[in-house]
Amino acid sequence: MLHTIVRWIRRVYPGVVFGGYLIAFLLAFTMVFMLPIGALGMVFLAVMALIPVVALLALVKAVERPLALRKLRRGDCPACDVGSITTSHDSGSDRVGVQNAHYACGACGSRFSDRGEDIQDDDDDAPAPRHPAEHPTEDSPSDAFRSASTSASPRAMTGELSGALSGLG
């Protein structure tokens, strides 16, 4: 129960902080016209408030990690509380001879590191799906080029490519 509350706080914390800074911005913007020195003071306070904001997030993460590890070692998923955790070992560690354990939930698909932290999938590295209009049709000259580029011999590739190019002109 405690881990669920701490996890919820960690998940909503950035949005709450952003909302607070947005309200402070709107207040400072209105103060520019009424009391310019007040707006300058609000900017200074907002910058100085970053220190406790970041420290509080680090504290929440430090409290959540051991709670998540306890659940993972029991075989329960910290995200969905279902007992379907599988463990895999990775030898790609910074330290020689040390293996890192990774935990994955079979029910919700969440993954966790050996320290109990969430592992986010890097979907940014995956190529974006192509639009259907970008795919060549069967009658396009690029089909001949594609079949020529997959042929085994260079002579066959040259012959098919020259045939495709002669059909264009």
For 142-166, write each residue's pLDDT tens digit: 454 444 444 445 555 555 556 655 6
Cα distances (angstroms) measured from residue 142 to each of 127, 150, 153: 21, 12, 19
- Give helix 2-34 / helix 36-74 axis angle, nearest 10°: 170
> 153 and 110, same structural domain?
no
- Per-residue burial over 127-158, b = 16 or more CB atoms within 10 Å of its CB, e = otherwise: eeeeeeeeeeeeeeeeebbeebeeeeeeeebe
90 falls within a domain: yes
* 35 plus 61 within the same structural domain: yes
Residue range(s) defining the domain that contains residue 62: 1-74
Instruction: Report whether 114 contacts 101 (CB < 8 A).
Output: yes
2 and 53 within one domain: yes
Please check whether residues 33 and 64 belong to one and the same domain.
Answer: yes
- Residues 102 and 145 placed together within one structural domain of the fold: no
pTM of the model: 0.55
Q: Tell me: the pLDDT tens digits for 10-43?
A: 889 999 999 999 998 898 888 888 888 888 888 8
